[in-house]
Chain A
Amino acid sequence: DGGITQSPKYLFRKEGQNVTLSCEQNLNHDAMYWYRQDPGQGLRLIYYSQIVNDFQKGDIAEGYSVSREKKESFPLTVTSAQKNPTAFYLCASSIIGQGNTEAFFGQGTRLTVV
């Protein structure tokens, strides 16, 4: 089945620890995105990538880092510099274009600071 796979589904982070969220897609999409979702707020873009070995900051990139070494993979690292990391994280992908750039999402990772 084609789609986007995020893992793990739940993740717990201790204070001062870095954690990495996985996102893999087999849709052959060039563009990949990471969003953060908090209760009562809209989706906020963290980072996005349109091509391997290139990525751009979104609206809330501070305290996060990404890599795009393969077209299929776009892992997100939540660093200790992110002071309020507890949230639901969503990965998405799409083709690059103008009209039919339908975005597809994974099932999300819920990160909790303990």
Chain B
Amino acid sequence: KQEVTQIPAALSVPEGENLVLNCSFTDSAIYNLQWFRQDPGKGLTSLLLIQSSQREQTSGRLNASLDKSSGRSTLYIAASQPGDSATYLCAVRPAGNNRKLIWGLGTSLAVNP
């Protein structure tokens, strides 16, 4: 059974730091992994999707990597800003059952000015 874990559950950093959020999954048979951002009381915003054949994806200050063999993905945020404060969620789409995403519980990030 696929399980997704995100560590740490919460993170507080000063503005300007580079930081890494972690997502691990137990079954390497996946179609893709997606990172989302959620602001309090809001819906989810898609940040990056990495397909199983890809190693990384980049968007602005965000870089997500995928290592299927070790069951890990990292979201790297460069030069963090207070506006990056949010909860970051990762989800995997298991191979063979592409209807249901499997979710982590998220990392709550606070970037302090």
Chain A residues with a Cβ under 8 A of chain B: 6, 31, 40-43, 45, 48, 50, 56, 58, 88, 90, 92, 96-108, 110
Contacts and interface: CB of A to CB of B under 8 A. Distances in A.
Interface of A is mostly: loop
B78 interface: no
B1 interface: no
B70 interface: no
Interface of B: 31-32, 34, 36, 41-46, 49, 51-53, 89, 91, 93, 95, 98-101, 103-106
Contacts of A107: 42-43
Given A43-B103, A45-B101, A103-B101, 12 more contacts: A42-B106, A48-B100, A58-B100, A88-B41, A96-B98, A97-B98, A98-B31, A98-B98, A103-B34, A103-B46, A106-B43, A107-B42
Q: Lowest 10 CB-CB distances: which A-B pairs, in order?
A: A99-B51, A105-B44, A107-B43, A42-B103, A105-B43, A102-B49, A108-B43, A43-B103, A98-B31, A42-B105
Contacts of B104: 42
B74 to A, nearest CB: 19
A1 to B, nearest CB: 14
Nearest to B96: A98
A58 B103 CA distance: 14
A108 B41 CA distance: 8
Contacts of B49: 100, 102
Contacts of A90: 43-44
A30 to B, nearest CB: 11
Contacts of A97: 98
Contacts of A103: 34, 46, 91, 101
A31 B44 CA distance: 17
B43 A99 contact: no
Contacts of B32: 99-102
A31 B49 CA distance: 17
Contacts of A40: 105
Contact of A41 (B41, B45, B93, B105): B105
